């Protein structure tokens, strides 16, 4: 479990970096990897959707947003 907490902290730091550097493709890949570890994590799925939107991958972003809304309600 501590390895997962380390990874989450790492992702949070990376998210800040990606936002500054506009490296949304790398953020997309990291959140996809995170979702493989925790497929039901709504925060990861939401962040993936944001990274996709920044790359104009709107159809895939919409599918992820719908998934979040279904699981969150």
Q: What is the model's pLDDT at position 15?
A: 66
pLDDT in tens, the chain (73 residues): 456 666 667 666 666 666 655 688 888 998 999 999 999 999 899 999 989 998 889 999 999 999 999 998 7
pLDDT value at residue 72 = 80
What was the pLDDT predicted at 3? 63
- Residue 25 burial (C-beta neighbours within 10 Å; 0-12, 13-18, 19+): middle
pLDDT at residue 70, as a whole number = 92
CB atoms within 10 A of CB 72: 9
> What is the residue whose two structure tokens read 């994590």?
41
Q: What's the pLDDT score for residue 36?
A: 93
């Amino acid at each position: 479990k501590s390895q997962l907490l380390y990874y989450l902290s790492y992702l949070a730091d990376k998210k800040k970096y990606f936002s500054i550097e506009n490296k949304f493709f790398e953020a997309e890949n990291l959140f996809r990897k995170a979702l493989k570890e925790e497929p039901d994590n709504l925060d990861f799925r939401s962040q993936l959707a944001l990274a996709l939107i920044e790359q104009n991958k709107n159809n895939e972003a919409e599918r992820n947003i719908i998934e979040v809304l279904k699981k969150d309600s």
